[in-house]
Structure 1
Amino acid sequence: MRITRRSLLFGLAAIAGSGPLKAFATDRVRLSGRAFGTTWHVLARDLAAPETLAPRIGALLDDIDAQMSPFRPDSALTRFNMTAPRVAVSGDFAEVARSALDMARISDGAFDPTVGPAVARYGFGPIRGRAGDWRQIACADGHLSRQGSVTLDLCGIAKGFAVDRLAELVSTQASDFVVEIGGEIRTQGDWQVGIAHPDKGGVHSRIRLGSGAVATSGDAVNHYDIGGRRYSHTIDPATGEPVTDNIASVSVIAESAMRADALATALLVMGNKKGLAFADKQGVGALYLIRDRGLLRAIANTAFKSHMI
Structure 2
Amino acid sequence: MNTQWGPSDLGDLRAGQGRQIRQQPAESGLVIEETESGWVGAILRVEKAGGMHVVVLEDRHGKTRSFPLGFGFLLEGEPVELTPSATPKAPRPSTSNRTASGSRARSSQQATVARAAKFWVEGTHDAELVEKIWGEDLRELGIAVEPIGGIDDLPAMIQAFGPHRQARLAVLVDHLVPGSKETRIVEQVRANRQWADTVLVLGHPYVDVWQSVKPKALGIAAWPSIDRSVEWKRGVLQAFGLPHGNQRDIAHGWKLILARVRNYADLEPSFLGRVEELIDFLTQDDEDRYA
TM-score surpassing 0.5? no
User: Which protein has the bigger strand share?
Assistant: 1
Could you say which structure has the greater relative contact order, defined with CA pairs below 8 angstroms and 6 or more residues apart? Answer: 2
TM-score w.r.t. length of structure 1: 0.25
TM-score w.r.t. length of structure 2: 0.26
